[in-house]
Chain A
């Protein structure tokens, strides 16, 4: 179990461990895809045709390939966010809500301080996103630390509240007065849009932010705070006797998780949508958890898994359009992958132990 491995001893690379991780991840996805195929067969659809359109949809052209990278961006950032809490055994399932708060705060700052020069305003919007996400997550963290409130319930409730908050804002206080009553905010000025990496595609600088955050995460796990997070995750009791402040660590990891999820919301607004809309985050939170778990909560692993799931999502949308196969197939695959990843030690390692 990498999640509860005490830090510090894995100095040299353990190839066997990596091979096991990659092998079982691939096996999990294959089994999930196979079960999906059986479901399609059972309902009289052609699974080969469905998966073919899925693959083509994700990789078929340069444009589609960049769309996959575009989707991988928020998945990767949010998965890093999830991994910080999960490594601490804090089960924050609220990155979706934190993402939305990041989107709200940053859009509001951009539209309110529109007269500031972009050099100042762009970093400001990002800071606002971090604050928004961190606040939302910090609520759950503080309630867990001081009042023992189960974070799974509080964060899932905060997801629903955040959704209605966005919906309220874009059809009320933040609604575009010239938007013909569409539930959306005013559009953000061009000068604040994140630069595109390849002209003619939607791939933008947020992708680079995501990669930069992977590097930050790698350093984080080698830092004192990262170490503390892992110790508290491995055992509350050990951490307590070692003199670590467990409650403060809960709040700290919650703030980090929320702040990162907020950045993902910022990237979607300033890189893709350029305005706050109701459906800004549909289902990204649960996907981010799958990506994090499939990547073994490891920053490098999550690059791979975020890319895989982005391909599934982009391809899944294309599959729904061209082959008429419901996108919900992708959700089913997600759920099966989580369960298989969890149960793999039961299937694969029983004999050796």
Chain B
């Protein structure tokens, strides 16, 4: 007959075996064994490891089910492929959680068992932060997206947005499929003016990309695609101060969102590449 003492002894042996396998000290709580060391002993670098001065204000990881809920109040967890997402928690200290109270605006959690993402329907799916923050003057946006369709001529898909006050990754399809930056402070609209393309024009629907936008105090917009500099553009005419605005993901393009981050500073190339690599690994991880 197996006693409770026998079960506890067996459980302790399992825990100890895992601790040894992961090369952990005895002081590490068991609850942290898996989450913090998914690759088997090497702590996984995350954007949270950057210094606070980097200004991480949004860190969204749709593969982390502990951050996804079906309702905006966060009472019904997402547990399976195909469920709607009414709230994705921000992993950054800023707590800019993205949510919607409107049933029809919820994107869909999808997974193939290895990779996970949020599917935005391009009609009305939209998650925004309940809080607003000053319109960013310097910033870095990093996202991993699969562009699927954009029926509109232009669509903002990730970043900071309030009407004509925008710092976002965008997708336009007026004549070609093109990821872009939309930087606007009530006046000139950087992204959708002719000749202002920040990324090459040969993106294709159905493929995934890691676009990054970096704007420093020199007001020059840098577009990076899959880690490489695509182009630089003068954004000084559209980077003025403006109304406070929330963060968001969604709007009028059909796309898969594999994760992304928002920083209020222009990251160094080293740090940007680390951030891109972090989210990118979730796109290709096998």
Query: Is chain B a partner of chain A in the same complex?
Result: no
Residue ranges of A at the interface with B (Cβ–Cβ < 8 Å): none
Residues of B with Cβ closer than 8 Å to A? none
